[in-house]
Structure 1
Amino acid sequence: MKCLRWRSNRHRFYMFFACASLFLLCKHYSSPNEKIDEEDEYLNAVDEHEKEKKVECEPPGAVESKCTVDNGKAMRCWKDEEEVYFPTSYLKKRFDMTGKLGKDGSTFELYTSYAKMRTPESTYEPLGPFGHFATYSVETRDRVRCISAKTNVPMSTQWDPTPYYYPIQIAQYGLQHYSRIKIGLFTNSSLKIQYFSLDSNSNKTEDKREVLVGVKSNEWKGAAGMHETTERLFFNDEEKGKVVNISAGCLLIFIIKIIDDSFSDALANAGAYVYLDKSPDLHVVSFDWKPYDGNASFTVLAKMKQDDLLVLINYVFSEGNGKCVWQEEERSYDDDTIVQKPKKDGQVSYSYSYTGSSQYGEWSNVTRDILVDVSRALSSGDNRKKDDNVILHPGDIRLVSLGFRGQLTVRQQINQRVEQHSHAFRSAADWMIQNQDKKGGWAVPVERSIADRKLVLEPGWHSAMAQGHGISVLTRAYKHFNDTKYLLSAMKALELFKTNSSEGGVRAEFFGNVWYEEYPTTPGSFVLNGFLYSLIGLYDLSKLEVPVAEIDENIRMKIKEAQQLYSAGIRSLKQLLPLYDTGSGTIYDLRHVALGTAPNLARWDYHAVHVYLLKWISGIENDEFLSKTADRWIGYAYGKRAKHN
Structure 2
Amino acid sequence: MRCRFRRLNYILFLSISLFLFYRIYNINPISLYSQSPFTLIHYQNNTYRILSSSFKHNSRGSYLNFAYFNVEQRNRVLYIDFLYDIPVSSQWQSDGHLYPIQIAQYGLSHWSRLELNSKNQQNKIYKFERLQPNKNNHCSSWHTIKDEIFLSNTYIHFTISSNCSLHFHFFSNNIELVYSTKTIHDLETLTKRIIPLKGSPRQASRYMLIDIEKLMRKTLVFRRDLIKIQICGDTQSSVTQLIIGNQTLYDQQAFYSATRWLLNNQDLQTGCWFIHVRRNYGHHTQYHLRNPWCSAMAQGQAASLLVRLYSLTNNKEHLLAIRRAIQPLWSSNLTRAYFNNRFLWLEEYPLESSTKGLFVLNGCLYALIGIIDANTIDYQPYLSELINQIIISLQHMLPYYVHPNISNWSLYDLSHITMKSKINTASYSYHLVHITLLQCLRQIFKKTNHSVSQLFDFYVQRFTSAIL
Distance 2:395 2:235 in 1: 62
- Aligned pairs for 1:65-104 (under 5 A) are none
Secondary structure class of the residue paired with 1:514: strand
Cα deviation, 1:287-332, whole Å, max 9, x if unaligned, reads: 23443xxxx2423323164xx22223333457xxxxxxxxx988xx
Distance 1:174 1:280 in 2: 25
Cα deviation, 1:572-606, whole Å, max 9, x if unaligned, reads: 11221111012431111011112112221111211
**Counterpart in the other structure of 2:338:** 509
Indicate the larger mover: 561-570 or 463-472.
Answer: 561-570
2:176 to 294, 311, 321: 311
2:194 to 341, 345, 351: 351
**Cα drift, residue 414 of structure 1:** 2.0
**Counterpart in the other structure of 1:403:** 231
**Cα drift, residue 48 of structure 1:** 9.1
**Cα drift, residue 209 of structure 1:** 1.8
Distance 1:299 1:574 in 2: 57
Secondary structure class of the residue paired with 1:520: coil
Secondary structure class of the residue paired with 1:118: strand
Residues 401 and 608 of structure 1, relative CA distance in 2, 3 Å threshold: same
Distance 2:391 2:205 in 1: 41
2:157 to 286, 290, 309: 286
**Counterpart in the other structure of 1:123:** 56
**Cα drift, residue 220 of structure 1:** 4.4
1:213 aligns with 2:145: no
Residues 140 and 541 of structure 1, relative CA distance in 2, 3 Å threshold: same
Distance 2:18 2:59 in 1: 47
| TM-score normalized with structure 2 length | 0.81
Q: What code does the residue aligned with 2:169 have?
A: A
Cα deviation, 1:201-257, whole Å, max 9, x if unaligned, reads: xxxxxxx62121235xxx7453xxxx5474xxxxxxxxxxxxxxxxxxxxxxxxxxx
1:532 aligns with 2:365: yes
Conserved in 2, the CA contact under 8 Å of 1:303 and 1:309?
A: yes
**Counterpart in the other structure of 2:299:** 467
2:91 to 158, 164, 170: 158
What percentage of aligned pairs have identical amino acids? 24
**Counterpart in the other structure of 1:630:** 460
Secondary structure class of the residue paired with 1:129: coil
**Cα drift, residue 176 of structure 1:** 0.5
**Counterpart in the other structure of 2:411:** 587
| TM-score normalized with structure 1 length | 0.60
More helix per residue: 1 or 2? Answer: 2
Q: Provide structure 2 residue ranges, at least 5 long, that are not aligned to the other structure.
A: 26-39, 447-452
**Counterpart in the other structure of 2:37:** none
Residues 342 and 50 of structure 1, relative CA distance in 2, 3 Å threshold: farther
Q: Provide structure 1 residue ranges, at least 5 long, that are not aligned to the other structure.
A: 1-6, 10-14, 33-45, 52-113, 192-207, 231-270, 319-327, 331-339, 380-387, 546-555, 639-645
Conserved in 2, the CA contact under 8 Å of 1:156 and 1:165?
A: yes
Conserved in 2, the CA contact under 8 Å of 1:289 and 1:408?
A: no
**Cα drift, residue 125 of structure 1:** 0.9
Q: What code does the residue aligned with 1:509 have?
A: Y
Residues 49 and 122 of structure 1, relative CA distance in 2, 3 Å threshold: closer
**Counterpart in the other structure of 2:208:** 370
**Counterpart in the other structure of 1:250:** none
Distance 1:290 1:604 in 2: 47
**Cα drift, residue 499 of structure 1:** 4.9
Distance 1:19 1:560 in 2: 59
Conserved in 2, the CA contact under 8 Å of 1:168 and 1:465?
A: yes
Aligned length: 427
Distance 2:120 2:167 in 1: 24
Distance 1:393 1:125 in 2: 37
Distance 1:398 1:115 in 2: 29
Cα deviation, 1:333-377, whole Å, max 9, x if unaligned, reads: xxxxxxx9552xxxx22233444xxx44xx553222212211222
Residues 453 and 596 of structure 1, relative CA distance in 2, 3 Å threshold: closer
Cα deviation, 1:363-406, whole Å, max 9, x if unaligned, reads: 55322221221122221xxxxxxxx4x256742x4332142425
Residues 402 and 144 of structure 1, relative CA distance in 2, 3 Å threshold: farther
Residues 316 and 20 of structure 1, relative CA distance in 2, 3 Å threshold: farther
Residues 456 and 214 of structure 1, relative CA distance in 2, 3 Å threshold: same
1:138 to 63, 71, 86: 71
Conserved in 1, the CA contact under 8 Å of 2:366 and 2:437?
A: yes
Secondary structure class of the residue paired with 1:445: coil
- Aligned pairs for 1:150-549 (under 5 A) are 150-184=83-117, 187-188=120-121, 209-214=124-129, 220-222=132-134, 227-228=135-136, 230=138, 271-272=139-140, 275-277=143-145, 278-281=147-150, 283-291=154-162, 296-303=163-170, 305=172, 308-316=173-181, 343=190, 348-355=191-198, 359-360=199-200, 363-379=201-217, 388=218, 390=219, 394-395=223-224, 397-405=225-233, 410=238, 412-419=240-247, 420-438=250-268, 439-454=270-285, 455-457=287-289, 459-501=291-333, 505-511=334-340, 512-521=342-351, 522=353, 523-544=356-377
Residues 273 and 577 of structure 1, relative CA distance in 2, 3 Å threshold: farther
**Counterpart in the other structure of 2:399:** 578
Whichever of the two has the greater Rg, that structure is 1
Secondary structure class of the residue paired with 1:601: coil
**Cα drift, residue 567 of structure 1:** 2.6
Over the aligned positions, Cα root-mean-square deviation in angstroms equals 3.4
